[in-house]
Chain A
Amino acid sequence: MASLDDLKKRISSVKSTQKITKAMKMVAASKLRRAQESAEKGRPYSDKMNNIILNLSNSISDKENSPKLLKGSGDNKVHLCVVMTSDRGLCGGFNTNIIKKAKTYFQKILDEEKILKIITVGSKGYDQLKRTYKNNIIEKISFKESKNANYFDAEKVGKIIIDRFEKKEFDVCVIFYNQFKNVITQIPQEQQVIPLKATESEGSSSEDNYEFEPEEDEILSNLLPKNVSTQIFKAMLENSASEQGSRMSAMDNATRNAGEMVDKLTIQYNRSRQAAITKELIEIISGAESL
């Protein structure tokens, strides 16, 4: 059995760990509120964007010559996967969930003998993927210095993707991120951005007859690159809300576990102290009896 001193040290160390996790939980909770707010505020923009594009692509007359971003490059060989993770750890299964989802997708691609290219956004994703897929990673991006997800960063990522697409480096682009559902649940998502898979809403919008100025094609070719950035931005917002949510619940669990551990250790400490006292008493009594 560990000595009394060791137990005492153990207890105080667990207690200080508990203090840290508690503080982290508090910080995550306050950040979560802000991140959640901005995720909700950002939704109208991407929803509207989606709607407009859907309307446009429905009414486009010349389907053959529609922009490549909408229709695809006509091939299905090279897949680009953009894996969006956080820059910091200690947030429960947040990063692992995305990576797991991405890895199943990677496996599928490789099994079909297609070419896989990866861009990682966020350093944690790179750390986890570099062991297995080092040769597939063509770029790693991280925004450690920017505090909150902002549109400027998303635009940068969007531009990188579009540039590579125009150079015909890939045919299909999929992004991976965590969708924020609530504090406990975050759902890892895969979303195809190039060629665009419009999420069909219930046919209501297709009946409107729009007037376009300038022509549909021109609007579309202007809009589609923006849409890529918008989708990335949406993913970033969802991700940052998910990260904080995930961290909060992870730290909450850690705090609770630390509390349980302190209780257990305290009991053990008290028992061994009592045992030591009893032992000493017996020694004294038996010593006195023998006199």
Chain B
Amino acid sequence: MSEGFKLEIVNPESSFLSKEKISEVVVPAYEGDMGILKDHISIISFLRPGLMRVFEGTNEEIYYVDDGIVEFKNNCLSILTSNIFDIKKMDKNDAKDALSKAEQDSQKNDISDQKKYLLEQKIEVLRNLTLN
């Protein structure tokens, strides 16, 4: 595993991150965390709220994502997301606000099971974030 693959994270406003030579990415896919290494099979999946880890050699960066779509093809990983934050730069108060909003939303009865599942995931991750 010499070269690694290409990672592109885009959000609607702009390109958030673009890097070559990524060794591994762990994404919070809908059905569980998924590690992607070089020469992974082409895959499309979507994300649940959670933490995304990007390994570049020995470097590790962690991002929080709200939702998104992952596409891996020809050693190029594209992630489309509308909400992504670098954990180091993330404001704790923002996280708290998002947490309380998510908690409120999950109290509602008229939401689908799928949405409820996503919200629970979100609450768990955000709770961990705000504690640290």
Candidates A41, A45, A48, A213; contact of B31 at CB < 8 Å: A213
The answer to whether B45 touches A219 (Cβ under 8 A) is yes
The answer to whether A214 touches B80 (Cβ under 8 A) is no
In the complex, what's the smallest C-beta–C-beta distance from A153 to chain B, in angstroms? 11
Residues in B with CB closer than 8 Å to A249 are: none
The answer to whether B69 touches A52 (Cβ under 8 A) is yes
B68-100 contacts to A (CB < 8 Å) = 69, 71, 73, 78, 80, 82
Residues in B with CB closer than 8 Å to A123 are: none
B18-49 contacts to A (CB < 8 Å) = 29-31, 34, 41-46
Candidates B15, B31, B41, B69; contact of A211 at CB < 8 Å: B41
The answer to whether A208 touches B73 (Cβ under 8 A) is yes
The answer to whether A151 touches B42 (Cβ under 8 A) is no
Task: With A213-B31, A214-B30 as known contacts, state yes or no: A222 contacts B12, CB within 8 Å.
Answer: no
Count of chain A residues near B, Cβ 8 A:
29
Cβ-closest chain B residue relative to A234: B12
The 7 closest A-B CB pairs, nearest first, are A41-B14, A151-B12, A213-B45, A211-B43, A45-B10, A210-B42, A44-B10
Instruction: Write the residues of chain B forming the contact surface with A, with a CB cutoff of 8 angstroms.
Output: 8, 10-15, 29-31, 34, 41-46, 69, 71, 73, 78, 80, 82
Instruction: Write the residues of chain A forming the contact surface with B, with a CB cutoff of 8 angstroms.
Output: 38, 41-42, 44-46, 48-49, 51-52, 55-56, 150-151, 154-155, 208-214, 219, 222-223, 226, 230, 233
